């Protein structure tokens, strides 16, 4: 197959050579004879090669007819003949060999360029795929980060709500406790002021009489003052922080003065106005049967005045917090009275 291709190329080279060497004069005188004499051996050789060379022979005949018709008389456009080299039985041309070599090189170069282009395209596609993967990874990382941030914000929100709820409940408890304490203090103050009002009414009732039994005065006046205000273990003077020993405080001073006024009246109720000194070795003096109101009137007035001072202190709103502390530290809280 390679031998056939080589012969075909040689034929075309010979045709071109014939064109270049033939002068216009030779062509005019005997073109047919010269061309036939030059081409006959070649045609015989080609015919012997096989059916595939027939087509080349036909092309040669066509060239022969074109030559017989004549070229440009001046020979213009006819190229100079290429250099021939002998190689065994075949005559070859350097330009044909070079042309074939260049054609192969061009094919290889083209193939190389196609391969290079393909590699560049694949590299570009790989780069695009890598960029897409990178974008996808960054997007996933961003989504994970946003989800973590969302969860953290939700956790903080829940903590904040729980903290706010706890603080609210604490404030409500404290407010409720404060209200209960205030209610208790106000109830205790009311109980004491009601007792004072009751004692003062009784004092006014006694002052309207000329004579009264000493026991009635004790039960209505000096006894309640002793029990609730001044001297018993359940009195506010004892239970409200030992005010008996805190005379520098306003309430302590008022209760001390109330206790002294009460002792003065209590002594006048005893036989021979004998004072009652409370200790383990003495007994309570005997009470008189009756006492003259005029005899105890000044003591009743003094006692009523001291009771009013204690009442004013208890009702003063500026003293509420101080009283609240007294009640909170009390050892014995009295039941509230309606």
> pLDDT-based confidence at 110, cuts 50/70/90?
confident
Report yes or no on 193 lying in a domain.
yes
Say how many Å lie between the first and final Cα of the chain, rounded.
136
Same domain? 197 vs 324: yes
Q: How far apart are CA 237 and CA 240, in angstroms?
A: 6
pLDDT digits 0-9 by tens, 143-183 = 998 999 999 999 999 999 999 999 999 999 999 988 888 99
pLDDT number for residue 40: 57
Report yes or no on 250 lying in a domain.
yes
Q: Is 88 left (phi over 0), alpha (psi -120 to 50) or beta?
A: left
Q: How far apart are CA 20 and CA 79, in angstroms?
A: 6
Tokens of 257: 């003065």
> pLDDT-based confidence at 246, cuts 50/70/90?
confident
Domain boundary among 54, 81, 108: 81
pLDDT number for residue 70: 53
Report yes or no on 115 lying in a domain.
no
Higher-confidence position of 31 and 55? 55
66-81 burial: b if 16+ Cβ within 10 Å, else e = ebeeebeeeeeebeee
Name 9's Cβ contacts closer than 8 Å, sequence gap at least 6. Answer: 93, 96, 100
Q: Which of 46-55, 77-86, 285-294, 319-328 has the lowest mean pLDDT?
A: 77-86
> pLDDT-based confidence at 89, cuts 50/70/90?
very low
> pLDDT-based confidence at 42, cuts 50/70/90?
low
User: Count of domains in the chain?
Assistant: 2
Report yes or no on 48 lying in a domain.
yes
pLDDT number for residue 283: 80
**Which 8-state DSSP code applies to residue 175?**
H
Summarize the chain as % helix, strand, coil (round to 5).
75, 5, 20
Higher-confidence position of 276 and 33? 276
Mean pLDDT of 30-47: 52
Mean pLDDT of 13-27: 54
pLDDT number for residue 24: 46
Mean pLDDT of 184-189: 92
Q: How far apart are CA 140 and CA 146, in angstroms?
A: 10
Percentage of the chain with pLDDT > 70? 65
Higher-confidence position of 58 and 155? 155
Q: How far apart are CA 187 and CA 117, in angstroms?
A: 102
Same domain? 194 vs 322: yes
Report yes or no on 17 lying in a domain.
yes
Report yes or no on 269 lying in a domain.
yes
Domain boundary among 49, 81, 113: 81
pLDDT digits 0-9 by tens, 190-216 = 999 999 999 999 999 999 999 999 999
Name 244's Cβ contacts closer than 8 Å, sequence gap at least 6. Answer: 237, 238, 252, 255, 256
Partners of 290 in the β-ladder: 213
pLDDT number for residue 73: 46
Q: Which domain holds residue 58?
A: 2-81
**Which 8-state DSSP code applies to residue 89?**
T
SS3 state at 284: coil
pLDDT number for residue 76: 45
Q: How far apart are CA 273 and CA 265, in angstroms?
A: 10
Report yes or no on 157 lying in a domain.
no
Give the best-scoring range by mean pLDDT among 29-33, 106-110, 135-139, 209-213. Answer: 209-213
Same domain? 76 vs 200: no
Q: How far apart are CA 91 and CA 97, in angstroms?
A: 12
Mean pLDDT of 214-227: 95
Report yes or no on 170 lying in a domain.
no
> pLDDT-based confidence at 65, cuts 50/70/90?
confident
User: Is the confidence at residue 298, as pLDDT, over 70?
Assistant: yes
Q: What is the mean pLDDT of the chain?
A: 78
Higher-confidence position of 227 and 58? 227
Name 217's Cβ contacts closer than 8 Å, sequence gap at least 6. Answer: 206, 265, 269, 291, 296
Mean pLDDT of 239-263: 87
Mean pLDDT of 241-261: 86
> Residue 200: how many CB atoms within 10 A of its CB?
18
pLDDT digits 0-9 by tens, 315-335 = 999 999 999 998 888 745 444
User: How many CA atoms lie less than 13 Å away from 266 in the CB half-sphere?
Assistant: 22
User: Is the confidence at residue 94, as pLDDT, over 60?
Assistant: no
> Residue 241: how many CB atoms within 10 A of its CB?
19
Domain boundary among 24, 49, 81: 81
Tokens of 306: 């001291």
């Amino acid at each position: 197959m390679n031998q056939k291709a080589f012969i075909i190329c040689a034929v075309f080279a010979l045709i071109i050579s014939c064109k270049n060497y033939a002068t216009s004069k030779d062509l005019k005188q005997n073109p047919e004879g010269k061309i036939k004499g030059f081409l006959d051996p070649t045609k015989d050789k080609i015919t012997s090669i096989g059916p595939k060379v027939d087509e080349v022979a036909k092309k040669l005949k066509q060239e022969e007819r074109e030559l017989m018709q004549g070229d440009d008389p001046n020979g213009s456009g006819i190229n100079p003949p290429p250099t021939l080299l002998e190689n065994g039985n075949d005559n070859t041309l350097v330009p044909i060999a070079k042309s074939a070599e260049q054609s192969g090189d061009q094919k290889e170069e083209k193939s190389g360029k196609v391969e290079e282009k393909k590699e560049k395209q694949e590299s570009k596609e790989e780069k695009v795929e890598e960029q897409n993967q990178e974008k996808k990874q960054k997007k996933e990382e961003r989504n994970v980060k946003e989800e973590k941030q969302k969860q953290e914000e939700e956790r903080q929100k829940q903590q904040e709500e729980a903290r706010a709820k706890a603080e609210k409940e604490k404030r409500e408890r404290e407010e409720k406790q404060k209200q209960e304490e205030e209610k208790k203090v106000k109830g205790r103050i009311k109980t004491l002021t009601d007792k004072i009002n009751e004692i003062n009414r009784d004092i006014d009732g006694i002052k309207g009489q000329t004579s009264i039994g000493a026991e009635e005065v004790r039960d209505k006046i000096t006894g309640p003052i002793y029990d609730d205000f001044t001297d018993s273990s359940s009195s506010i003077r004892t239970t409200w922080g030992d005010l008996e020993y805190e005379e520098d405080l306003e309430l302590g001073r008022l209760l001390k003065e109330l206790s002294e006024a009460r002792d003065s009246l209590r002594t006048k109720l005893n036989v021979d106005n004998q004072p009652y000194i409370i200790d383990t070795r003495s007994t309570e003096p005997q009470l008189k049967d009756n006492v003259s109101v005029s005899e105890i009137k000044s003591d009743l007035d003094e006692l009523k005045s001291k009771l009013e001072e204690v009442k004013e202190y208890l009702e003063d709103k500026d003293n509420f917090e101080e009283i609240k502390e007294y009640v909170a530290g009390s050892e014995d809280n009295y039941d509230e009275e309606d």
